[in-house]
Every structure is written in structure tokens, then in C-alpha cells.
Structure 1
Amino acid sequence: MDFDGEDLSHKALGDRLPPGEQHLFRGCDLTEADLWGAALGGARFESCVLDGTDFRRADLDGAVFTGGGGMRTRFNDADLIDASFTDVDLSSAQFAGALLTDAAFTGCRMIGASLTASRGTGFTLTRSNLTLANLGGCSLRGALVEGVRFDDADLSGCDFTEATLNDCRLLGARLLGATFTKADLRGADLGQPDDARLRAFAGAVINQAQANAILAARGITVA
């Protein structure tokens, strides 16, 4: 079923979505729309307004979001296996309890988003802004993370084991209990190399310039 340019704001949409179909929402206003528990596997959302849209407990397996977005979109406890988000504004979005196995976020604005307590075996992040986001306990084990800003994000308890961070920034990120064993951080800005951060980076691979900066911060010059 297709929705093209419709104002669906503040509407309960469950009765308008026939089961067993793949739905297309193009240029729709879904502000505060109620899609709680909706069957939206494989649905496409193109340039839609998603301010406060309620996708809690929805089946969004393989759903595709392109462009658009909004503030405080709710994906709590939703099934987002293989879902993709490209160039979507997900600022302050809520993903607590969501199943994110193989979900992909590319070119997304995710400032202040909360992915803590999300479930699954990992997801991908590319060219996205996660400043002030909360990823507490998330798994990015073995992931290739490129062009991502984690400035002042909460990465407590995150698993970055064997991950590769290219062109990423970790300025001011909270790293309590995070794991970077065998992670490749040579392409990342690690931020201020204080002792607490260095403990988090134990077992990671860094480059010579990063090592020199760490030593210089401790008054040691490498000849």
C-alpha cells in the first residue's frame, strides 16, 4: 500500500496497513503517528517527517528509511533486523530494546540518540554524527566504523573488539568499561589521552603519532 505526500500526523495507522503487504511512505508527515506494533517488514520511508513517530514494538525487518527524519522518533523494542537508514535525521531517537542485528546507519544525524539496551549481534555506522549519543553496552565487535563522530558520547561498556575505526572522533567520549581489544584505532582521533582513556584502549593498535602524543602528554619526548 502506498502513501504519497499524505498528512498522517497524530493518526493511529494500524487499521490502514493491510497485513502481508510491503508499504511505501513517500514525503509523508508522520509527526506523532501511532505505528506501535505495526507490521512494516520491508516498508520504505522516503523523505518522511518522523517527529515523535511511535514505532515501538513494530516489525521493521528489512525496512528502508531514506532522507527525512525528525526528533525523538521511538523505535523501542522494534525489530530492525537488516533495516537501513540513509541520510536520516535521528536526533534524540530512542532504540532501547530494539533488535538491531545487521541494521545499517549511513550519513545519519544521531545527536543525542539512545541505543543503550539495544539487542542483536551488531550493526554498522558510517559517516554519521553520534555526538552526545548513548551507546552504553552496544556491540560493534569486528565492525568497520567509518567517518563517525562520537564526541561526548557515552560508550560505556561497548564492545569494539577487533573493530576498525577510520576517520572517527572520540573527543570527550565516556569509555568506562568499553573494550577495544585488537581494535584498529590508527585512523581515529582518540581525544585527550588521560589515564582512564588509556586503560579503555588496552590491547588496541595505534599509530606512531598517537603514541607520541600520549607520551608527550606525560612529559616524555621520543627522540
Structure 2
Amino acid sequence: MNFDGEDLSRKPLADRLAPGETHVFRDCDLTEADLWGAPLGGARFESCVLEQTDFRKADLDGAVFTGGGGMRARFNDADLIDVSFTDVDLSSAQFGGALLTDASFTGCRMIGAALTGSRGTGFTVTGCNLTLANLGGCSFRREHIEGVRFDDADLAGCDFTQATLTNCRLIGARLFKTVFAQADLRGADLGELDDTRLRALAGAVITQAQATAILAARGLTVL
């Protein structure tokens, strides 16, 4: 079923969507739309308004979101295996309990998004703004993360083992019990490091310039 330019805001839609069909939404207003538990596997959302859209418990496996977006969309407990978000505004979106195995976020604005408590074997982020996001406990093992801002994000308990961060920022990020074993942080802006944040970087690879800056902040001069 195709929806083109429709105002679907604040409407219950799950009963209109037949299982087994591929649904396409183009330039639709889905503000506060009710898609709780909807069968949306393989669906496409193109330049749609998603302000507070309710996708909780929806089947979104293989769905594709391109452009558009809106604050506070709810994906709690949804199935998001192989879903892709490209250039979508997901600020303050909620993903608690969502199954995010092999999901990808590319060029997304995710300020204040909450992904802590999500499930699955991991997801990828590229070119995203995750400032103030809550990613507590998420796994980025062996991922190549490029162009991501983690400024002031909560990364407590995250696993970056053997990950490579390129053109990324960790300024002010909360690193309590975060694991960076064998992580390559030579391409990351680490910001100022207090003792807690510095301990979290144990086992990581950094540049000589980064090490010099860390020591200089503690009153030591490297010759």
C-alpha cells in the first residue's frame, strides 16, 4: 500500500496495514500516528514527519527511513533488524528494548536519543550527531565509527573493544566502565580527560600528540 503526501497525524494506522504487504510512505505527516505493533517489515518512509510517532512493538525488519524525521519518535520494543535510517532527524527518539541487530544510522541527527536497553548484536553509526544521547551498555565492538559526535553522551558501560573511531568527538562523554581495549582513538577528539575518563581509555591506542596533551593537562612537559 502506498501513502503519498497524506496527513496521517494522530490516526490509528495498524489496522489499515495488511501483513505481508510492502508499505511505502512518501512525504506523509505521521505526527503522533499510532503504529503500535504494526506489520511494517520492509516498509519505506521517505521524507516523512515522525514527530512523536508511536512505532512501539512494530515489526520494522528491513525497513528504510530516508530524510524527514521528528523529535521523540518511539521505537521501544520494536523489531528493527536490518533497518536503515539515512539523513533522518531522530532527536530524543526512544529505542529502549528495540532489537537493533545490523541496523544502521547514517547522517542522522540523534541529539538526546535514548538507545540504552536496546537489544541485538550491535548496530552501526556513521556521520551522526549523538550529542547528549544515552547509549549506556551498547556494543560497538570491532566497528569502524566515522564522523560521529558523542559530545556529552552517556557511554557508560559501552563496549568499544577493537573499534576504530575516525573524525569522532568524545568531548564531555560519560565513560564510566566504558571499555576501549585495543580501540584505535587516534582519529578522535578526546576533549579534557579527568581521572575517571582517562582510566576508561586503558588499552586504547592514541597518538603522541594526544598523549602529550593529556600529560600537559596534568602539569607535565614532554620533551
Shorter-chain TM band = over 0.9
How far residue 195 of structure 1 moved from its aligned partner, in angstroms, is 1.2
Q: Distance in 2 between matches of 1:15 and 1:154?
A: 37
Q: Distance in 2 between matches of 1:78 and 1:68?
A: 20
TM-score, normalisation: structure 1? 0.99
What residue in structure 1 maps to residue 148 of structure 2? 148
My pick for the range that moved more, 192-201 or 113-122, is: 192-201
What residue in structure 2 maps to residue 132 of structure 1? 132
- What are the ranges of 5 or more consecutive residues in structure 2 without an aligned counterpart? none
What residue in structure 1 maps to residue 83 of structure 2? 83
Q: Give me the CA root mean square deviation.
A: 0.6
Identical-pair percentage: 80
Equivalent positions of 1:30-49 (< 5 A) are 30-49=30-49
Q: Secondary structure of the equivalent of 1:67?
A: strand
Q: Distance in 2 between matches of 1:15 and 1:174?
A: 42
Q: Distance in 2 between matches of 1:20 and 1:109?
A: 31
Q: Deviations over 1:91-122 (max 9, x none)?
A: 00000000111100000000000000001111
Q: Which amino acid aligns with 2:84?
A: S
Q: Deviations over 1:124-178 (max 9, x none)?
A: 0000100000001111111111100011110000011111110000111001011
Deviant stretches of 4+, over 6 Å: none
Q: Distance in 1 between matches of 2:173 and 2:15?
A: 43
Q: Secondary structure of the equivalent of 2:168?
A: strand
Q: Distance in 2 between matches of 1:83 and 1:19?
A: 18
In the alignment, is residue 27 of structure 1 matched against residue 27 of structure 2?
yes
What residue in structure 1 maps to residue 66 of structure 2? 66
What residue in structure 2 maps to residue 200 of structure 1? 200
What residue in structure 1 maps to residue 17 of structure 2? 17
Q: Distance in 2 between matches of 1:193 and 1:32?
A: 41
Q: Which amino acid aligns with 1:53?
A: T
How far residue 193 of structure 1 moved from its aligned partner, in angstroms, is 2.0
How far residue 14 of structure 1 moved from its aligned partner, in angstroms, is 1.2
Q: How many pairs are equivalent? A: 223
Q: Distance in 2 between matches of 1:79 and 1:140?
A: 19
What residue in structure 2 maps to residue 159 of structure 1? 159
Q: Which amino acid aligns with 2:200?
A: A
